[in-house]
Amino acid sequence: MRLRSLAFAAAVSIATFGIVDSPAQGSKSDLAIIAQYVISRKHWTASVFRIERADCDCAYALYRIIYLPEDGKPPAPNSKSFAVHYDEQLHKVIKETSFQ
């Protein structure tokens, strides 16, 4: 079990590597929580997606989860990329939406 926890921590670390703490990008801890959500929900490895914060006039922070094989391509109806609404006060993903 400990080995699994270490592997998971390493995967989250890879997913958030190189992200600088700033309000425009989100904090490293928030990005780690979102990465954990993606890894556990989609069963993706951290090397196949990236997280970016998007501007939104909504009640929660909007983060785009970009599936790297689709990066740079126009969104398609069967796209694996998606977005999440994240509550920065409660530090949890509120809902998942299609990629916009």
> Closest Cα to residue 98, out of 90, 85, 87?
85
Element (H, E) at 8: helix 2-15
Q: What is the pLDDT of residue 75?
A: 77
Q: What is the pLDDT of residue 41?
A: 95
Q: How many domains are contained in the chain?
A: 1
> Closest Cα to residue 63, out of 13, 10, 27?
27
The domain containing residue 91 runs over which residues?
Answer: 2-98
Give the model confidence (pLDDT) of 23-77 as tens digits: 445 678 899 999 999 999 999 999 999 999 998 888 899 999 999 999 988 878 8
> Is 51 in contact with 67 (CB distance < 8 Å)?
no
Q: What is the pLDDT of residue 56?
A: 82
User: What predicted TM-score, i.e. pTM, was given to this entire model?
Assistant: 0.72
Over residues 90-99, mean pLDDT = 91
> Is 61 in contact with 89 (CB distance < 8 Å)?
no
